Amino acid sequence: MELVTDETYPSGQVQRLVHLTDRAGAAGIDATGVLKGDIYVGPLSNAGKSGMGITWRTGLSPGAYQAAVPIPQGALGAFSKPTPIGIFTGWQRAMGTQYTARGVLDLTTGTFTRTGINWTQVGWYGTDLVIDAGLIYVGTRAAGGDQ
């Protein structure tokens, strides 16, 4: 799978998203033409990042990314932008991350078939809630709220 560039997309497209993967993942995607599971994508600009730049934008380790898979325009409706409720989902939103429910995305047709819940994203929301609750608790105690 080749690195995606701006020339891959017709000019005038509003949103250009890519899924980042390693060589083995790219080979599997090339062979099947589908993305499976909890699918995460980001802006095309992620495809040009490397090293710590990719980690900062996506959370992927620098060696975990060797290929960018373009997402067809017809599939954009399957993706959701995170609702920022804390530090992690706020970071996802700020970096342009989008996600699907667990499912299968046909890269030829753009058809998405939901197969379940994206438990990874549920974990991010849960982590934010725990941190938020802890900060509220500490803040109220520091302000003398339990006296």
Per residue in 28-48, pLDDT (tens digit) is: 999 999 999 999 999 999 998
Q: Report how far apart the first and last C-alpha atoms of the chain are (Å, whole number).
A: 62
Which of 109, 108, 147, 121 has its CA nearest to residue 37? 121
- The DSSP symbol for 74 reads G
Whether the predicted pLDDT of 77 surpasses 70? yes
- Annotate 48-78 with b (16+ C-beta within 10 A) or e (fewer): ebeeeebeebbebeeeebebbbbbeeebbeb
Q: For residue 85, which of 38, 121, 46 has the smallest C-alpha distance?
A: 121
**Is 9's pLDDT higher than 80?**
no
Beta bridge partners of 112: 105
Identify the three-state secondary structure at position 95: helix
**Domain segments of the chain as ranges:** 6-142
Q: At a CB cut-off of 8 Å and minimum separation 6, what does 84 contact?
A: 90, 92, 93, 94
Q: Structure pTM?
A: 0.83
Collapsing DSSP states into helix, strand and coil, what is residue 51?
A: coil
Amino acid at site 35: L
Over residues 101-110, the pLDDT tens digits come to 999 999 999 9
Predicted local distance difference test score (pLDDT) of residue 3: 42
pLDDT average, residue stretch 4-15: 50
